[in-house]
A and B are shown apart, each in its own frame.
Chain A
Amino acid sequence: MNPARPKAVNSAQGTFMSNIAGKAYAMNVITPSSPRITWTNRLLFMAARGLPRNLLGLLGLSIIHFARWVIIRPKDWPDLGQGKQNLKNDYVLFCSNFNGTWDQYIDAFSDGIPKGLNLFWYSATKYPQSIPITDFKRYITYNQINTDFYYNATPGSAQRDVKAGLRVYDAVLELAEAHKTQTPEEFAKTYRTAMFKIQHSLGEPGLGPVASLDTERADINRGAYRSDDSYGA
């Protein structure tokens, strides 16, 4: 283990937490739901997956890498010997990896897919609806749990950047196949056609803007452990 590290850590030292990793923001929201109606939410989730027009709004936002909704019934809370949870409600855990700030995300959700939001949180107790946005933002604030640790394998790339990179990758793989068989003149034509398709996808990843002082402080505070040789193996 790492016995040397705690010298730089105590709970009063400051904010270590950050919901942000590069260009991605980790949102965790947990909302109560009456067991009498949670099944309707499960049905709505599954129906949405079978009705693409309801997913297209979510896909169209183009700011989410991965997201999930997890319905946790009282019996689902793992019991590893500490005893079962005595709860009257089901809980829905929502975890999202999105690009931009918290406000931008909520605004995009509320403006872009207000109906979809209301369906996905249909059974949430005291859910105020996605419009008007003030009550909606207040509800998310009350029900959000901050992230203690967040890892992003591609921190320099937003979701659209990743897809742009994959478009270029796909085009280069096709060009590689063409390069095997085509004459230089034929290949130059194929190359120009490919460039016409992917010219807007070229570029390179970069640092995300610092979205908050918490984010900056969290990253700086981790520097306190730099002298610990046991990391970075």
Chain B
Amino acid sequence: MADLDSGHIFLTTLAPIKGVNAESGTGISHEQRVRIALAQLPTALQSPATQGIGINSPLARNRRTHLARMFVLSDIVYNGRNPQNPLVATAKGIDPVDPLPIDQLSTAYLVFCADVDAIVNDGDPLPHNLTKAQQKAVRASYARKLWDTMGDELQDIYQNCVGFEGVKTADDFAAYLDKCHVETTMPFHDYYLDLPKFNELNTKLLLGAVLVPAAIAVLSLLLRIFGMLHLPMLGFSTFWTFVVAAVVTVVVALLAIAYALRNGAKPLPPAKHDDLPSVLKGLYVQQTFSDFVIDHQAAEPNELHRAFGDYLARHRPENKMSPTQTPGVISIRAEGGITL
């Protein structure tokens, strides 16, 4: 399960949107209604215009979401006809004038992707690893959190999606989002102050395990072709040595691929301060401590020691939950930028 990496859940969900013939009562397609609902959803206070609006995103009501996006996938992309060798096409009797089949989705999808702390209680440390069931529990916990903090907005958006009719509670939404879940294959994240310990793959060993029997198979085959019925000194049949070595090569190659896949799916550890509360606190400390440094550039040791004690008492760096920078604001200087 590569949803989990660096202590975060890389949540990917695809919710099918109701078709154009479904009853909406507005004359506007459900796909368009999703787009309108998303256009109405406040973003973070991220620019002079949105600061002027003064309404922070409903996603800022939780402290688990680093980044999130929603978009309508009307259809998958077609990049044009695939070229092919004209000799092969002629031999197969393929007329290039005839159109080839083109993939089309039968319904549009609402894609919701979020980069989320893999925790079930706010402020918990990020986990190094989770079982499949624990990951499901984290996803459900996040979905419930969303419903509890922005249920109205989710209702506005998802009421246009197939199968959402019975969703009335946080648990219902968690179950619904789970049905829409698609596993992330390859996650990537980098807030590392020091590089993590990677799950290194020993490619030389794996290649050796495959190439040694492969070399024996090739050698046995060549000897057989040149008329040697038995291996020199060993006396084994070259034919059966080739067969056994070839089978071993294939089996070991498959095992090596399976091992590489399983090794790659292992999550990397979280960075030292990688959860959103720590990131927000880090930005808060960066800003407040920059002021402290400027104000105490030439301070004597006694004054520095006393002033730093005051700084600790006021800003409490050991408490990552407060005081801190509010989610979804530019800085602590912004209106509402500090959460006490």
Contacts and interface: CB of A to CB of B under 8 A. Distances in A.
A184 B285 contact: no
B182 A165 contact: no
A68 B187 contact: yes
Contact of A148 (B38, B80, B182, B330): B38
Contacts of A220: 49
A226 B71 contact: no
B279 to A, nearest CB: 6
B338 to A, nearest CB: 13
B200 interface: yes
B308 A185 contact: no
Q: Say what secondary structure dominates the interface of chain A.
A: mixed
A152 B327 CA distance: 8
Interface residues of A, number: 121
A151 B44 contact: yes
A82 interface: yes
A204 B286 contact: yes
Contacts of A179: 305, 308-309, 312
B80 A26 contact: no
Given A78-B14, A179-B309, A226-B55, 12 more contacts: A22-B44, A46-B263, A68-B184, A70-B12, A81-B162, A87-B103, A162-B282, A184-B305, A207-B330, A208-B47, A225-B42, A231-B58
Nearest to A60: B190
B264 A45 contact: yes
Nearest to A225: B40
B188 A207 contact: no
Contacts of A161: 283
* Across the A-B interface, the 4 shortest Cβ-Cβ residue pairs: A46-B264, A50-B201, A80-B163, A156-B330
Interface residues of B, number: 130
Contact of B47 (A24, A30, A210): A210
Interface of A: 1-2, 5-6, 9, 11, 16-18, 21-22, 24, 26, 28, 30-32, 42-43, 45-52, 55, 58-59, 62, 64-72, 76-83, 85-89, 91-93, 95, 97, 120, 125-126, 139, 142-143, 145-157, 159, 161-170, 172-173, 175-176, 179, 183-185, 187-188, 191, 195, 201-208, 210, 215-216, 219-223, 225-226, 230-232
Contacts of B34: 148
B53 A226 contact: yes
A222 B286 contact: no
B286 A9 contact: no
Interface of B: 8, 10, 12-16, 18-19, 32, 34-36, 38-50, 52-60, 65-73, 76-80, 82, 101, 103, 105-107, 109, 111, 113, 115, 152, 155-156, 161-163, 179-193, 195, 198-201, 203, 257, 260-266, 268, 271-273, 276, 278-283, 285-287, 289-290, 293, 301-302, 304-306, 308-309, 312, 317-318, 325, 327-334
Contacts of B282: 162, 165-166, 168-169
A45 B43 CA distance: 33
A133 B200 CA distance: 32
24 contacts: A1-B155, A22-B44, A31-B79, A45-B264, A46-B262, A49-B186, A49-B265, A59-B190, A66-B67, A67-B188, A68-B12, A71-B185, A77-B16, A78-B180, A78-B182, A147-B70, A149-B70, A169-B278, A169-B286, A183-B305, A185-B301, A216-B47, A221-B39, A222-B42
